Amino acid sequence: MENTPDKTTADAAAREPKQVALRYILDAWEEALFAGIDSDCVATAAIFAALSDMIATYGEEPVAVMTERLSARIRAGEFTVVRITQ
């Protein structure tokens, strides 16, 4: 399937809200670390908040099915972010 200008624009528009949302989360994460909260605590709270919200929206079973695939996605590197520290 080839990328047409309309498809490329639609894909970018679909990604934009997710990128903005991720920026908010990462900013809050940095604020929490700056305030002295341990990164493990922030991570646990973020996962809990995300799963709780998804369960409230979609229900327990669909979220359980989605999380069953997480280990394969993690192993595939989907969540690995290369961070450059200067």
| Domain-embedded: residue 47 | yes
Greater confidence (15 vs 73) lies with 73
The separation between the first and the last C-alpha atoms of the chain, rounded to the nearest angstrom, is 40
**CA distance linking residue 53 with residue 67, whole number of Å:** 14
**CA distance linking residue 63 with residue 55, whole number of Å:** 6
| Domain-embedded: residue 53 | yes
| Domain-embedded: residue 51 | yes
Q: What is the token pair recorded at 36?
A: 């002295």
| Domain-embedded: residue 85 | no
**Angle, alpha carbons 68-23-3 (nearest 5°):** 75
Q: Which domain holds residue 24?
A: 5-58
| Domain-embedded: residue 32 | yes
Answer yes or no: are the C-beta atoms of 50 and 40 closer than 8 Å.
no
For the stretch 63-76, pLDDT in tens is: 999 999 999 999 99
pLDDT of amino acid 55: 98
For the stretch 49-59, pLDDT in tens is: 999 999 999 99
Query: Number of structural domains, the chain?
Result: 1
